Amino acid sequence: VSCLTQRIGEQFPFPYQPYNIQEEFMQALYSALDKGKVGIFESPTGTGKSLSLICGALSWLTDYEERKRQEAAALLQEGEEALSTNAAQSSAVSSSAELDWITDFVQKKAERDLVSKLKEEEMKRKKREERLEMIRNNVQLKYAVKRKSYEEDEAFKLLQLSKEEQVEATGDQEDEELIIAEYESDDESKIKTEKDEDDELVEEHVTKIYYCSRTHSQLAQFVHEVQKSPFSKDISVVTLGSRQNLCINEEVRQLGSIQRINDRCMEMQKNKHEKHHHEEGVKRKRGPAKSVCPYYKASALQQMRDVVLGAVHDIEQLLKLGRETHSCPYYSTRLAIPPAQLVVLPYQMVLHEATRRAAGVQLKGQVLIIDEAHNLSDTLSCIHSAELSGAQLCCAHSQLSQYADRYKSRLKAKNLMYIKQILFVIEGLVRVLGGEHKSGFFVLLGTEMLTINNFLFKAQIDNINLFKVLQRYFEKSMISRKVSVIYLIHTKTTEKVLSASPMMQVEGFFMALTNSNTDGRVVVHKQGSLSESSVKFLLLNPAVHFAQVLEECRAVIIAGGTMQPVSDFKQELLFSAGVGEERITEFSCGHVIPPENILPLVLCSGPSGQELEFTFQNRDTPRMMDETGRILSNICNVVPGGVASGTLTRLANKKKIFQEPKKANQVEQVLNEFSRCIQRCSADCSGLTGALLFSVVGGKMSEGINFSDDLGRCVVMVGMPYPNIKSPELQEKMSYLDKHLPHSQGRSPGQALIENICMKAVNQSIGRAIRHRGDYSSVVLCDRRYSRPATLSKLPTWIKDRTTTHTTFGPAFAALRKVRNITGSAELLGKLYF
């Protein structure tokens, strides 16, 4: 009996009575996981998608584990009965059958081995469950609050020592040790732990669900939903992050850039490894003492690992826990991956193979949920693209040359050969940019698009086996980290270059050049000087890197609030990755709001009769700007609260005007002021009726920010946000799709790409306003091109089905007035996108 059959007619555990669409979502999700499907799930923001994912997926995992236990128990019983039966039969065998003793022996051995294996697995499972239960009951962790004072004193001294050594000059001997030595501790698998029975158990990867999303704030929100779910007490969860997010060593954190933090962490681990050798009696070479990280101790890491598995923690709670237990959250969470049932992690850690491998993430036979996946194709392309500036190339060449010159007497001939090959390739890249290893060298302006093979020929590096250089030298010697840790770059762009770690960037670009010739292009930008010029690898076929994920996982769920158009998504990412139609399942649901709570309008002309078509040629003309102002002025008259030219003065008399800031760190301040203004307008009787927020499509406020309730009673979309059709990268992508994907409904895949980029941005922007069942808002699409059937079809179904098109302004204005009368609210708000 399958798990799916058991779930029919049963309610899913849920913190409250779920909406019908949530129950349908969970049932469809459960079925997709049980059948090993690739599921595309669309559920509008505000419909409880996160909780549906959590409760549906964890219900399946619970039932799946129970089914495995039952099947194992049945097999064990069957095996033991077979052994017993065979033993009885063997005693009754006549002498004439003794010739078959070999066959009989082999059969019995296979049965005994199966029974032994089943017993061993059952024993491990029971011990693992007992261990987790002890952790949750805090039986095994009472010693955590009784840490001896001398350990705290030792940690304090080590921290002080680290700070003092940061300003000390180190001798040549110390440099040599650091550069030549291998960074053995970088591999998490080499953390030395006590090899008792329980520790061996937790190294085994249990069946788990990997949940990934785009930003750390989205991951934190998901973890909070897990904490509110009925599974919070019974599920082992671990949240992963970068060193930049999880490091608690203040000396390291203050370095700022992620690459500096990574390099310093590696260096301190190496020092720790050397310290163990010295303690074991190995004579220490002269030189100042090297700093080690006081948070990187096996016993402390194991202790925190246990605490992490015992309860659900977000990133902030992990940082607090790390400081309390004096243990590194970064490495403790990685130790917790094998026994964890739910692993929460950012895109990069699961979609990029090298990062996945380094983090200890194993996808074979596991479930992967990719949330906020509306831009998954772009995300994959971005993760696997690489760019190198002329300044970085010159810097990397200088670093590696100094390294080779200084230590050539100590390096093996084979390693010197690889270094010379790397230098040769870098020199070729510099030549392509028109330079001669001097960052100020003048080059001609221009942009050139090349296939990978043509680029290799042009750079005259086609005779170098980059696969071999990467696998045999970069990965094994970790040369990129060794060089970037030691050498300071004495140029006017020192800080910028250091933050990007030139040798690490070079390694990434080498890796990109190993893609298939048809799957990518190299863009050569010459910007006047070598330092400002660049070479960029552009991935055209993201499916080639997604294919391994799809192949390894038991099931993959691709979820989002707006996944339209699904047909193009399937073609580019799934069919191109070798996934058959029979493995794909789709689910899309409407919104939980009543139909009257959303009013989407397509506005084809303004109050003066001016046709609205904000093309690149006419969108900035005075007549279009004036008409836009008249539209907004009329809307503000009937939408008091928050909506988003002498026109600005008229608008300012009705709404306080805000605009999206240029700097990301100012977004929160603007949003707070916007919100306070709306609250004040609700409380007093001043002339202002709310606020107007001007934002940019695809900007800082068009995604990931909620404008619920009075923060967004009207969303006005001015024009259609098509991408720059003259971009060389976009033209190459269109050309690639036209060549490799089938045409559909009389349009080329390249044309479809342009339309999809535009409408995905529109859908993300207009979806900011409706956030829960009782919410309501108007959506005004100001451009007659929105009325085209092909364009309307790309809107989310729950919006498209309620959209009306108005060729003149009067009926649209009347509809907005009617909505205000229905809601009876004097505090409607809005948001405007350009």
Helix axes 390-407, 502-512, angle to 10 degrees: 110
Q: Residue 675 carries which side chain, given as an amino acid letter?
A: S
Residue 148 has pLDDT above 60, yes or no: no
pLDDT at 495: 44
CB 265 within 8 A of CB 328: no
pLDDT at 58 over 90: yes
CB 632 within 8 A of CB 833: no
Q: What is the mean pLDDT of residues 781-800?
A: 92
pLDDT, average across residues 505-524:
93
pLDDT digit string, tens, across residues 611-667:
999 998 888 888 898 888 888 888 877 654 444 544 566 677 777 888 888 887 788
pLDDT tens across 302-314, in order? 889 989 998 999 9
Residues whose CB falls within 8 Å of the CB of residue 281, separated by 6 or more in sequence, listed in order: none
Q: What is the predicted pLDDT for the residue at 517? A: 93
DSSP-derived pairing of the beta strands 342-346 and 209-213: parallel
DSSP-derived pairing of the beta strands 342-346 and 237-239: parallel
Take residue 577 and report the two structure tokens written for it: 């990755």
Give the type of residue at 175. D
Q: What integer pLDDT is reported at residue 54 of this predicted model?
A: 96
Entry field: residues in the chain: 834
Contact 474, 514 (CB under 8 A): no
Q: What is the rounded average pLDDT for all residues in the chain?
A: 79
How confident is residue 291, by pLDDT bands cut at 50, 70 and 90?
confident
What is the rounded end-to-end Cα distance, in angstroms, of the chain?
55
Instruction: State residue 187's pLDDT score.
Output: 38
Query: Residue 623 class from Cβ within 10 Å (0-12 exposed, 13-18 middle, 19+ buried)?
Result: exposed
> Of all residues in the chain, what percent carry a pLDDT higher than 70?
75
In this predicted structure, which of 2-6, 442-446, 515-519, 522-526 has the lowest mean pLDDT?
2-6
Average pLDDT over residues 665-681: 81
> What is the three-state SS of 370-430?
ECCHHHHHHHHHHHCCEEEEHHHHHHHHHHHHHHHHHHCCCCCHHHHHHHHHHHHHHHHHH
Summarised one tens digit per residue, pLDDT across range 270-283 is: 766 655 555 545 55
Q: Which of 207, 205, 239, 235 is nearest to 223 (CA)?
A: 239
Instruction: Compute the distance between CA of residue 396 and CA of residue 44 in angstroms, rounded to an integer.
Output: 47
Residue 215 banded pLDDT, cuts 50, 70, 90: confident
pLDDT at 649: 67
pLDDT at 289 (0 to 100): 57
Residue-wise DSSP of 794-811: TS-HHHHTT-EEESSHHH
From the list 38, 358, 414, 352, the residue with the least C-alpha distance to 212 is 352
pLDDT of 259 reads 78
Pick the residue with more confidence: 66 or 8?
A: 66
Alpha helices, H only, 92-192: 101-136, 149-166, 172-180
**How far is 662 from 667, CA to CA, in rounded Å?**
9
- In angstroms, the CA 163 to CA 249 distance is 11
pLDDT confidence bin for 139, thresholds 50/70/90: very low
Which of the pair, 525 or 281, is modelled with greater confidence? 525
- Give the whole-angstrom CA distance, residue 398 versus residue 392: 10
Is the pLDDT confidence value at 782 over 90?
A: yes
The single residue listed with the structure tokens 């059958």 is 97
Structure tokens at 813: 């204005």
> Between helices 258-279 and 172-180, what is the axis angle to 10°?
100
Check residue 647 and give its pLDDT: 57
Q: Report which of 362, 443, 433, 360 is spatially closest to residue 394, judged by C-alpha positions.
A: 433
Cα–Cα distance, 419 to 530 (Å, whole number): 23
pTM for the whole structure: 0.82
Range of weakest confidence among 60-69, 86-95, 344-353, 514-523 = 86-95
Chain centre to alpha carbon of residue 434 = 37
pLDDT the model gives residue 5:
43
Q: Which residues pair with residue 558 across a beta bridge?
A: 40, 370
The number of beta carbons lying within 10 Å of the beta carbon of residue 74 is 11
Residue 299: per-residue pLDDT: 87
Given a cut of 90, whether residue 548 has pLDDT beyond it is yes
As beta bridge partners, residue 538 has 521
Check pLDDT > 60 for residue 497. Answer: no
137: pLDDT strictly greater than 80: no
pLDDT for residue 196: 44
**Range 747-766 average pLDDT:** 89
Q: For the chain, what is the total number of helices (H) and then of strands (E)?
A: 35, 19
Peptide bond into 721 cis (omega under 30): no
pLDDT of 75: 75
